[in-house]
Amino acid sequence: MSTLKKTLYRELELKISTNDEGISFDPLIFKNLDLGGRYQEDIHICFEMAYETHVGLKFPPFFTSPHGLIFNLRWDRRSSYSLINEKGTFYLAHHGKVIFPVEFPERPKYYGLKTSDGSSMSTIASYAQEGAVVVAYSNECSLKERGQDCKFCNINATKAAYGEAEGIGWKTPKQVGETVAAAYSEFQDGARRFNLTGGFVAERREVEYYLDVADAIKEHTGLEDFNGLAAIGAPLDLTVIEKYKEAGYRTIASNIEIWDKNIFKAICPGKDQQCGGWDHWLKVLDHEVEVFGRGKVRSNIVAGIEPKESTLEGIEYLASRGVIGLATVWNPNPGSGLEGHRAPEPAWYFDLFKKIFAIHRKYGFTYEELYDCSGATGIISDLYRIEDETLPVFKAQVA
């Protein structure tokens, strides 16, 4: 293994560790950083990923390591990892010892624009880096009304904490179309990807809204293929899946969240009771592959709630059916039903991700398919780009 690859793997281990354990810092450390001006600020489109809320305090959403890996910034005062500022330069440290300097993302230009109705585009579509924009059309989930929230999810708590303070609410298709067009215009020389997601709404309302958004994006961008992903709840009526494809979405996602059937029932009661149960989720994913094609369907598992072997069994099964199965580091988020619990240790996650990457390679999934289904900044995406030597740092080394 080259020296550069070894360095990148060390940084990837740190990325997993800080995802898992969070990062400690003084909330006022960014007061002179010009967040919302030169630098991108975190906007709570769906979830609070820090370990406590911080209404009125602006944080960056992530930072970049010296070799180009993008680290989430998850605030936890208890963490042994920290951000420190020395003479205007920010560093990641461990037990107070500096590891490396970090860079924060510059604010995309479209964040400073407004839609035709005067709404700030920064509250419509969040920039996830590498040409990817994410729209959470609904910053709340109707499962709360039934007492059926997923136990790991804090979407409703996040809306209650930040919705009014950050001006976040339901997005109209026209707002989305105008904002995606502005973002795509800014990123026209690189990859572009659009992800539409949100909390549970009535199935019919969800389908109609997603179709209207697709029409609005095509109208404002002039693109028939806008590389959109529709993240949806598993529909009871399988025939509606064709409608998403016909509308112009390139990929689709129905996130099962938990693979073990019994744990799924306990952790995701709404997904179990409102979407036909665990077995129906698998039927939906199979049908999505029939409609969209192999490698064009995604399903995510929140890793760390069930045994590792169960998660890997699920990823292997999904891959064998043509579904890109992903896993994310579980954060026991504030306001969720599992707040105060603890996720597995970083080494547990690193082993899991390496095994998921091997499964993806085994079934022939490409990085391009992964990008279309999930973006470029996840752990599995990093593993692809390290092993394939496609991160920008490899090109810089050759030059």
Residue pLDDT, tens place only, 102-132: 999 999 999 999 999 999 999 999 999 999 9
d(CA 388, CA 384): 6
d(CA 139, CA 178): 19
d(CA 337, CA 153): 7
∠ CA(224), CA(226), CA(229), 5° rounding?
125
293-323 confidence digits (pLDDT tens): 999 999 999 999 999 999 999 999 999 999 9
Residue type, 126: S
User: Residue 384 has which token pair?
Assistant: 């692809």
Average of per-residue pLDDT values in the chain: 95
Beta strand 228-231 pairing with 70-72: unpaired
- Where do the H-state alpha helices sit in 29-170? 155-162
CB 80 within 8 A of CB 21: yes
Domains in the chain: boundaries: 22-101, 109-398
- Residue 136 pLDDT > 70, yes or no? yes
User: pLDDT grade, residue 399 (50/70/90)?
Assistant: low
Q: Note the pTM of the prediction, 2 decimals.
A: 0.96
d(CA 142, CA 79): 34
d(CA 81, CA 90): 13
Residue type, 343: A
For residue 140, the model assigns a pLDDT of 87
List beta partners, residue 63. 71
What is the CATH architecture of 109-398?
Answer: Alpha-Beta Barrel (3.20)
Half-sphere exposure of 282 (CA within 13 A, CB side): 14
- DSSP 8-state class, residue 327: E
